[in-house]
Amino acid sequence: MTPTAPAPYAIGVDTGATTLREADHLLRALAAELDLPEDVFGCTHLVRDGRPRVALSLAAEDEPVLRAARDRLTGQGYEVGDGAPDEAGRAVLFPGAGALTGTLTLAEVLARSAIDRVTVLGTPDEPSPDTLLVTREHVRPQWRDGRLVLAAMPAVGGVLVPFEDPDPTPCCADH
């Protein structure tokens, strides 16, 4: 796939979600309910304005699709506005996201999805295209300077895994 810039039309949705997991689930449920096409970008955004929460955004080339979604979401009582809450959204829905399962080379990740680049925490160098990524079926790239970038980290066996853990241990879980 060619590098992708954020789609030109976006809406922000304040759902009151307080965790990323809750926001991910809600974003997927709303996309299914609204029957959004697979080329829609759905992101989460941390909002810290005195009432910490996770807002959502939907972005697409097809403005009428999102205008219809905006009307339906507003009708359901969600606070919906033009534009994303910020430019650094964490992508949950993006073209090719469903194809990122199992273990893939980085070249396959870039070819199958809208992800533009993979970085490895703690290293300044670009990883080799033949490096394996164990997706854990949880790939959450973020927008950086108009590009969708996946942060990965080294794992046992010389492979990479996405930085974000699908099942994080809650803070203070052991005490």
Rounded mean pLDDT, 43-55: 92
- Contacting residues for 30 by C-beta, under 8 A, at least 6 apart: 13, 56, 73
- Name the amino acid, one letter, at 168: P
Nearest to 149 by CA among 88, 99, 98: 88
Whether pLDDT at 2 is above 50:
no
Residue 91 near residue 77 (C-beta atoms within 8 A): no
**How far apart are the C-alpha atoms of 93 and 30, rounded to whole Å?**
11
pLDDT score for 168: 64
Cα four-point dihedral sign 35, 116, 120, 159: positive
**How far apart are the C-alpha atoms of 79 and 73, rounded to whole Å?**
8
Nearest to 148 by CA among 2, 3, 21, 31: 3
Residue 131 near residue 106 (C-beta atoms within 8 A): yes
Measured in residues, the chain has a length of: 175
**How far apart are the C-alpha atoms of 85 and 6, rounded to whole Å?**
13
Q: How does pLDDT run across 66-120, given as a tens digit for each residue?
A: 999 999 999 999 999 999 999 989 999 999 999 999 999 999 999 999 999 999 9
Whether pLDDT at 173 is above 70:
no
Cα angle 89, 164, 56; round to 5: 30
Among residues of the chain, what percentage have pLDDT more than 90? 83
pLDDT score for 145: 92
Residue of 5 and 81 predicted with greater confidence: 81
pLDDT score for 14: 94
**How far apart are the C-alpha atoms of 38 and 157, rounded to whole Å?**
33
Cβ atoms within 10 Å of 2's Cβ, excluding its own: 5
Provide the token pair at 36: 């959004």
